[in-house]
Amino acid sequence: MSLAASPAVKRLADWDADRLRRLADEHGTPLYVTDHERIRENFARFDDAFDFAHVMYAAKANTGRAVIRTLYDAGADVECAAAGELHRALAAGVAPEDLQYTAVNPPDGDLDYAVELWEDTPDLTITAGAEMTLDRLAERGFDGRLAIRVNPGIGTGHHEKVATGKDAKFGIPYGDVPRVVEAARERFDVVGLHAHVGSGVLSDDLADHRRALSKVADVATRVGELEFLDLGGGFGVPYRPEEPPLDIQAAAEMVRDVTADVEATIALEPGRYLLADAATLLARVNTIKRTPETRVVGVDAGLTAMIRPAMFDSYHHIRNLSGDDREPVASSVGGPLCTSADVFCTDRPIPRPEAGDVLAIGNVGAYGINLASQFHSQPRPAEIAIDGDREAVVRRRETMADLTRLEDDAEGLYGRFDRTN
């Protein structure tokens, strides 16, 4: 079987339970396990379906060095939404000319970094979504390759917080784009238009996605003389076990049809589609509590390890790796943080968890470890990369010393605060 013909989704049931339990025992929990063979399969399938497009990886989904390197070696260029992402991509070995910088309300330091990089690498493309950003770029001496971000006024996706196509924060209003492009051509080398209209798009969302992309394609034909039209990413994966995967061939045909009259290279920036099902988060059960309302299952991973359920009310399948064959019991799985938002599920049937069991939380490869935090002074998890039979620690677990490392210099400057003075 070719990589492009690999299964459309890796379900949580497809992971090797014995291997995951062993990794949890050897490396501790919470623990991210990322399957790089699966990342390559997902990229090959996407690249094969969109064989008419230039495919870049949207680094914001997961900026881990190993992930970026795997996708870059597979043939993906890299789209970065912040200077820090540019820095991380360069550290992963990506050539500057293979980067695209898509700024959203960029801080001064971010623009400084991007322009300095452009001065050494004129092939770097910078995307701007506000007229003031164009002025700020010109003030820094930038007159190079520029893309204008379009806001089509239509958003799609799995949650209102990611329906960026109708959010005024993102891009130039649709009706203003021709005027802005015409003016920008006097100061920059305008090479493209860019749009990203939403995230988590599945087959049932393709009609809405088509409406949004059609508006972007229409304005591209009107402004003309473009090197590329970048339609962003947004293609989703099924998070529920019974949910069908995106028909990637139908999605590709939709994009091909919508852009048929565009005389420019079509570019795409998948992130979630490439990464989501390629990682799982392992957590160990430490507390079982029966209450009149529910059966509480306490684990050592919380929203600091994976915030999507708290942030988006998102569903992530949970598997009991220590007792798949047990009778399912309605369980509310939550972490160690002092907030009611620190819950992965409520009253969900799970094969009866017991103290010491290892649970696997599925589809966490995109926006999982990238959104990890130190809230409650929780050290962030470690990450193991697996690739066939090979295994490697690609992100060490933070220690207690790491929690205060950035404050050590302040202690040296001010001394330890003495409550008696």
C-alpha 270/C-alpha 47 separation (Å) is 10
pLDDT score for 408: 83
Active site residue 338: yes
C-alpha 277/C-alpha 362 separation (Å) is 7
pLDDT score for 158: 42
Burial 329-360 (b: 16+ CB within 10 A, else e): eebbbbbbbeeeebbbbeebebbbbeeebbbb
Burial 271-294 (b: 16+ CB within 10 A, else e): bbbbbbbbbbbbbbbeeeeeeeee
pLDDT score for 416: 54
C-alpha 72/C-alpha 416 separation (Å) is 46
pLDDT score for 8: 92
| pLDDT single digits (tens) 280-325 | 999 999 999 999 888 999 999 999 999 999 999 999 999 999 999 9
pLDDT score for 170: 73
Partners of 289 in the β-ladder: 296
Give the residue among 205, 212, 261, 263 at the shortest CA–CA distance from 237: 205
| pLDDT single digits (tens) 56-69 | 999 999 999 999 99
Structural domains in the chain, sorted by start: 36-274 (3.20.20.10), 277-405 (2.40.37.10)
pLDDT score for 411: 60
C-alpha 389/C-alpha 410 separation (Å) is 45
pLDDT score for 159: 39
pLDDT score for 164: 45
- Percentages helix, strand, coil for the chain (3-state, rounded to 5) are 40, 25, 40
Q: How far is CA 299 from the centre of its chain?
A: 25
pLDDT score for 3: 78
pLDDT score for 1: 58
Task: Give me the average pLDDT of each 10-residue run along the chain (421 residues).
Answer: 82 98 98 98 98 97 97 98 97 97 94 97 96 97 97 59 53 93 97 88 85 92 96 93 94 96 97 97 97 94 97 95 96 96 96 98 97 96 98 98 87 56 49
Which of 132, 260, 338, 406 is labelled catalytic? 338
Helix axes 177-184, 206-223, angle to 10 degrees: 40
